[in-house]
Amino acid sequence: MRIVTQSQRRKDMDLLLIGAQGSGKGTQAEKLSQALGIPHVASGDLFRKAFDEKTELGIKAKAYMDRGELVPDNLTVPMVLSRIEESDCVRGVLLDGFPRTISQAQALDKGLQRVGRQIDLAIYLNVPRAELLSRLSGRYICRVNQHVYNIHANPPKVPGVCDFDGSELYQRSDDTGEAVQKRLDIFFNETIHLLDYYGSQQKLVEVNGNLDIDQMQRVLLKEIHDHQESR
Ligand code: ADP
Protein backbone atom coordinates (compact mmCIF):
# COMPACT_ATOMS: atom_id res chain seq x y z
CA MET A 1 0.00 0.00 0.00
CA ARG A 2 1.28 3.46 -0.88
CA ILE A 3 1.38 5.84 2.05
CA VAL A 4 0.20 9.31 1.07
CA THR A 5 1.58 12.05 3.28
CA GLN A 6 -0.32 15.22 4.09
CA SER A 7 1.95 17.35 1.91
CA GLN A 8 1.50 15.01 -1.07
CA ARG A 9 -2.25 15.02 -0.67
CA ARG A 10 -2.62 18.77 -0.46
CA LYS A 11 -2.72 20.51 -3.82
CA ASP A 12 -0.67 23.68 -4.11
CA MET A 13 -2.83 26.78 -4.09
CA ASP A 14 -2.31 30.51 -4.39
CA LEU A 15 -5.26 32.24 -2.78
CA LEU A 16 -6.37 35.81 -2.44
CA LEU A 17 -8.78 37.35 0.06
CA ILE A 18 -10.48 40.57 -1.01
CA GLY A 19 -12.36 42.59 1.57
CA ALA A 20 -12.74 46.13 2.80
CA GLN A 21 -11.14 47.37 5.99
CA GLY A 22 -13.05 45.77 8.84
CA SER A 23 -14.43 42.91 6.74
CA GLY A 24 -12.66 40.36 8.96
CA LYS A 25 -10.22 39.52 6.20
CA GLY A 26 -7.10 39.53 8.40
CA THR A 27 -8.69 37.38 11.12
CA GLN A 28 -9.96 34.87 8.57
CA ALA A 29 -6.66 34.84 6.69
CA GLU A 30 -4.74 34.03 9.87
CA LYS A 31 -7.03 31.07 10.62
CA LEU A 32 -7.09 29.85 7.02
CA SER A 33 -3.33 29.99 6.84
CA GLN A 34 -3.13 27.65 9.85
CA ALA A 35 -5.83 25.33 8.54
CA LEU A 36 -4.32 25.08 5.05
CA GLY A 37 -0.65 25.17 6.05
CA ILE A 38 0.26 28.01 3.70
CA PRO A 39 1.76 31.37 4.75
CA HIS A 40 -0.44 34.41 5.26
CA VAL A 41 1.15 37.28 3.36
CA ALA A 42 -0.45 40.61 4.30
CA SER A 43 0.97 43.68 2.59
CA GLY A 44 -0.03 45.97 5.48
CA ASP A 45 1.78 43.71 7.98
CA LEU A 46 4.89 43.73 5.78
CA PHE A 47 4.84 47.54 5.75
CA ARG A 48 4.32 47.77 9.53
CA LYS A 49 7.16 45.28 10.10
CA ALA A 50 9.43 47.29 7.80
CA PHE A 51 8.59 50.43 9.76
CA ASP A 52 9.25 48.74 13.12
CA GLU A 53 12.63 47.65 11.75
CA LYS A 54 13.27 51.27 10.67
CA THR A 55 14.01 50.33 7.06
CA GLU A 56 13.89 52.99 4.33
CA LEU A 57 10.90 51.23 2.77
CA GLY A 58 9.03 51.20 6.08
CA ILE A 59 9.68 54.86 6.78
CA LYS A 60 8.61 55.94 3.27
CA ALA A 61 5.46 53.78 3.41
CA LYS A 62 4.39 55.02 6.84
CA ALA A 63 3.60 58.54 5.60
CA TYR A 64 1.12 57.16 3.03
CA MET A 65 -0.35 54.71 5.54
CA ASP A 66 -1.02 57.38 8.16
CA ARG A 67 -2.96 59.39 5.60
CA GLY A 68 -4.95 56.30 4.59
CA GLU A 69 -3.51 56.42 1.05
CA LEU A 70 -2.14 53.60 -1.05
CA VAL A 71 1.62 53.20 -0.93
CA PRO A 72 2.97 53.62 -4.50
CA ASP A 73 3.42 50.50 -6.61
CA ASN A 74 7.18 50.94 -6.95
CA LEU A 75 7.46 50.22 -3.20
CA THR A 76 4.55 47.83 -2.78
CA VAL A 77 4.89 45.44 -5.72
CA PRO A 78 8.58 44.43 -5.25
CA MET A 79 8.05 44.05 -1.49
CA VAL A 80 5.18 41.57 -1.90
CA LEU A 81 6.67 39.69 -4.86
CA SER A 82 9.95 39.14 -3.05
CA ARG A 83 8.05 37.83 0.00
CA ILE A 84 6.20 35.35 -2.25
CA GLU A 85 9.54 34.17 -3.62
CA GLU A 86 10.74 33.10 -0.15
CA SER A 87 11.08 29.35 0.38
CA ASP A 88 8.11 28.95 2.74
CA CYS A 89 5.77 30.09 -0.06
CA VAL A 90 6.65 27.40 -2.62
CA ARG A 91 3.53 25.33 -1.81
CA GLY A 92 1.24 28.31 -2.08
CA VAL A 93 0.36 31.52 -0.37
CA LEU A 94 -2.65 33.30 1.07
CA LEU A 95 -2.57 36.94 0.03
CA ASP A 96 -4.32 39.60 2.09
CA GLY A 97 -4.36 43.28 1.11
CA PHE A 98 -2.51 42.79 -2.14
CA PRO A 99 -3.44 43.38 -4.91
CA ARG A 100 -5.65 46.46 -4.35
CA THR A 101 -5.65 47.84 -7.87
CA ILE A 102 -5.83 46.39 -11.37
CA SER A 103 -2.21 47.40 -12.01
CA GLN A 104 -1.12 45.47 -8.90
CA ALA A 105 -3.19 42.46 -10.02
CA GLN A 106 -1.44 42.53 -13.40
CA ALA A 107 1.99 42.81 -11.74
CA LEU A 108 1.10 39.88 -9.49
CA ASP A 109 0.00 37.75 -12.45
CA LYS A 110 3.29 38.46 -14.20
CA GLY A 111 5.34 37.71 -11.08
CA LEU A 112 3.54 34.40 -10.48
CA GLN A 113 3.70 33.43 -14.17
CA ARG A 114 7.48 33.73 -14.08
CA VAL A 115 7.56 30.85 -11.60
CA GLY A 116 4.79 28.83 -13.27
CA ARG A 117 2.08 29.82 -10.81
CA GLN A 118 -1.18 31.75 -10.89
CA ILE A 119 -3.90 32.91 -8.51
CA ASP A 120 -6.22 29.92 -8.18
CA LEU A 121 -9.04 31.54 -6.29
CA ALA A 122 -9.98 35.05 -5.16
CA ILE A 123 -12.55 35.24 -2.37
CA TYR A 124 -14.51 38.42 -1.70
CA LEU A 125 -15.85 38.96 1.84
CA ASN A 126 -18.83 41.18 1.26
CA VAL A 127 -19.76 43.42 4.23
CA PRO A 128 -21.95 46.57 4.04
CA ARG A 129 -20.14 49.88 4.56
CA ALA A 130 -22.13 50.88 7.68
CA GLU A 131 -21.12 47.67 9.42
CA LEU A 132 -17.47 48.18 8.46
CA LEU A 133 -17.24 51.53 10.25
CA SER A 134 -18.54 50.18 13.53
CA ARG A 135 -16.19 47.20 13.39
CA LEU A 136 -13.13 49.37 12.70
CA SER A 137 -13.71 51.53 15.75
CA GLY A 138 -13.38 48.42 17.96
CA ARG A 139 -10.33 46.92 16.27
CA TYR A 140 -7.08 46.29 18.18
CA ILE A 141 -3.98 44.46 17.00
CA CYS A 142 -1.03 42.98 18.82
CA ARG A 143 2.38 44.62 18.79
CA VAL A 144 4.45 41.53 18.02
CA ASN A 145 2.55 39.40 15.46
CA GLN A 146 -0.35 41.60 14.33
CA HIS A 147 -3.02 39.24 15.70
CA VAL A 148 -6.37 41.00 15.26
CA TYR A 149 -9.07 41.47 17.92
CA ASN A 150 -12.34 43.33 18.17
CA ILE A 151 -13.42 44.55 21.59
CA HIS A 152 -17.06 43.62 20.77
CA ALA A 153 -16.94 40.60 18.46
CA ASN A 154 -13.61 38.96 19.27
CA PRO A 155 -12.16 40.27 22.56
CA PRO A 156 -8.88 38.96 24.00
CA LYS A 157 -9.11 36.80 27.14
CA VAL A 158 -7.25 39.47 29.16
CA PRO A 159 -8.04 43.08 28.14
CA GLY A 160 -5.15 44.73 26.31
CA VAL A 161 -3.06 41.55 26.03
CA CYS A 162 -2.68 39.20 23.04
CA ASP A 163 -3.95 35.63 23.69
CA PHE A 164 -1.22 34.12 21.51
CA ASP A 165 1.99 35.93 22.37
CA GLY A 166 1.17 38.08 25.43
CA SER A 167 2.14 41.30 23.67
CA GLU A 168 0.38 44.63 24.08
CA LEU A 169 -2.72 45.37 21.98
CA TYR A 170 -3.01 48.77 20.33
CA GLN A 171 -5.32 50.66 18.01
CA ARG A 172 -3.84 51.53 14.63
CA SER A 173 -3.33 55.23 13.93
CA ASP A 174 -5.16 54.82 10.60
CA ASP A 175 -8.24 53.18 12.20
CA THR A 176 -9.51 56.52 13.44
CA GLY A 177 -10.63 59.82 11.94
CA GLU A 178 -10.40 60.74 8.28
CA ALA A 179 -7.98 57.96 7.37
CA VAL A 180 -10.73 55.34 7.89
CA GLN A 181 -13.12 57.06 5.48
CA LYS A 182 -10.37 57.51 2.94
CA ARG A 183 -9.37 53.83 3.07
CA LEU A 184 -13.01 52.77 2.64
CA ASP A 185 -13.38 55.17 -0.31
CA ILE A 186 -10.32 53.67 -1.98
CA PHE A 187 -11.71 50.19 -1.43
CA PHE A 188 -15.17 50.94 -2.86
CA ASN A 189 -13.87 53.10 -5.73
CA GLU A 190 -10.78 51.19 -6.74
CA THR A 191 -10.18 47.80 -5.16
CA ILE A 192 -13.74 46.74 -5.95
CA HIS A 193 -12.75 46.52 -9.65
CA LEU A 194 -10.76 43.41 -8.77
CA LEU A 195 -14.11 41.60 -8.63
CA ASP A 196 -14.48 42.08 -12.40
CA TYR A 197 -10.82 41.25 -12.97
CA TYR A 198 -10.99 37.87 -11.21
CA GLY A 199 -14.65 37.30 -12.10
CA SER A 200 -13.88 37.45 -15.81
CA GLN A 201 -11.22 34.78 -15.25
CA GLN A 202 -13.77 32.57 -13.42
CA LYS A 203 -11.65 32.74 -10.28
CA LEU A 204 -13.96 34.72 -8.02
CA VAL A 205 -16.12 33.50 -5.16
CA GLU A 206 -18.20 35.93 -3.10
CA VAL A 207 -19.20 35.15 0.47
CA ASN A 208 -21.43 36.98 2.90
CA GLY A 209 -19.05 38.63 5.35
CA ASN A 210 -21.78 39.33 7.87
CA LEU A 211 -21.32 35.97 9.63
CA ASP A 212 -19.61 35.35 12.94
CA ILE A 213 -15.92 34.42 12.88
CA ASP A 214 -16.32 30.63 13.13
CA GLN A 215 -19.23 30.45 10.69
CA MET A 216 -17.28 32.46 8.17
CA GLN A 217 -14.22 30.27 8.56
CA ARG A 218 -16.36 27.17 7.81
CA VAL A 219 -17.84 28.81 4.72
CA LEU A 220 -14.39 29.81 3.45
CA LEU A 221 -12.89 26.38 4.02
CA LYS A 222 -15.81 24.81 2.19
CA GLU A 223 -15.40 27.16 -0.79
CA ILE A 224 -11.67 26.42 -0.97
CA HIS A 225 -12.25 22.68 -0.60
CA ASP A 226 -14.94 22.70 -3.34
CA HIS A 227 -12.59 24.60 -5.61
CA GLN A 228 -9.76 22.12 -4.99
CA GLU A 229 -12.05 19.21 -5.75
CA SER A 230 -13.16 20.78 -9.03
CA ARG A 231 -9.60 21.15 -10.33
P1 ADP B 1 -6.39 48.04 5.72
O2 ADP B 1 -6.77 47.03 4.70
O3 ADP B 1 -7.22 47.94 6.95
O4 ADP B 1 -6.22 49.41 5.16
P5 ADP B 1 -3.69 47.04 5.85
O6 ADP B 1 -2.95 46.66 7.06
O7 ADP B 1 -3.95 45.98 4.84
O8 ADP B 1 -5.00 47.70 6.35
O9 ADP B 1 -2.96 48.26 5.11
C10 ADP B 1 -2.57 49.41 5.83
C11 ADP B 1 -2.03 50.44 4.85
O12 ADP B 1 -0.89 49.90 4.17
C13 ADP B 1 -2.98 50.85 3.72
O14 ADP B 1 -3.89 51.85 4.13
C15 ADP B 1 -1.98 51.36 2.69
O16 ADP B 1 -1.47 52.63 3.03
C17 ADP B 1 -0.85 50.36 2.83
N18 ADP B 1 -1.03 49.19 1.93
C19 ADP B 1 -1.30 47.92 2.27
N20 ADP B 1 -1.42 47.14 1.18
C21 ADP B 1 -1.23 47.94 0.11
C22 ADP B 1 -1.27 47.76 -1.29
N23 ADP B 1 -1.53 46.55 -1.83
N24 ADP B 1 -1.03 48.83 -2.08
C25 ADP B 1 -0.77 50.03 -1.57
N26 ADP B 1 -0.75 50.29 -0.25
C27 ADP B 1 -0.98 49.27 0.59
Quick one: pLDDT band at residue 4, thresholds 50, 70, 90? very low
Q: Closest Cα partner for 144 from 165, 115, 114, 123?
A: 165
Q: Which region among 37-41, 157-161, 209-213, 218-222 has the lowest average model confidence (pLDDT)?
A: 209-213
3-state secondary structure of 33: helix
| Cβ neighbours for 49, distance < 8 A, ≥ 6 positions apart | 58
Quick one: pLDDT band at residue 154, thresholds 50, 70, 90? confident
| Whether residue 183 lies in the annotated active site | yes
| Whether residue 25 lies in the annotated active site | yes
Q: Taking 50 as the threshold, does the pLDDT of residue 159 lie above it? A: yes
Q: Taking 70 as the threshold, does the pLDDT of residue 173 lie above it? A: yes
Active-site residue, from 172, 182, 218, 222: 172
Active-site residue, from 48, 83, 117, 183: 183
Q: Taking 60 as the threshold, does the pLDDT of residue 171 lie above it? A: yes
Active-site residue, from 25, 48, 117, 135: 25
Q: Determine whether 157 is exposed, middle or buried from the number of CB atoms within 10 Å of its CB (0-12, 13-18, 19+).
A: exposed
Quick one: pLDDT band at residue 210, thresholds 50, 70, 90? confident
Ligand 1 neighbours by CB, cut-off 6 Å:
21, 42-44, 47, 64-65, 68-71, 76, 97-100, 104, 174, 183
What's the whole-number mean pLDDT along residues 141-166? Answer: 92
Which of 23, 30, 45, 47 best tests ligand 1's pocket when mutated (most atoms within 8 Å of CB)? 47
On whether the CB atoms of residues 12 and 116 are closer than 8 A, the answer is no
Q: Kindly give the distance from the C-alpha atom of residue 158 to the centroid of ligand 1, in angstroms, as a whole number.
A: 28
* Residue 175 DSSP code: G
Q: Which region among 31-35, 78-82, 180-184, 192-196 has the lowest average model confidence (pLDDT)?
A: 180-184
CA 103 to CA 42: how far, in whole Å? 18
Sheet containing 139-142: give its strands across.
148-150, 139-142, 169-170
Quick one: pLDDT band at residue 126, thresholds 50, 70, 90? very high
Q: Taking 60 as the threshold, does the pLDDT of residue 123 lie above it? A: yes
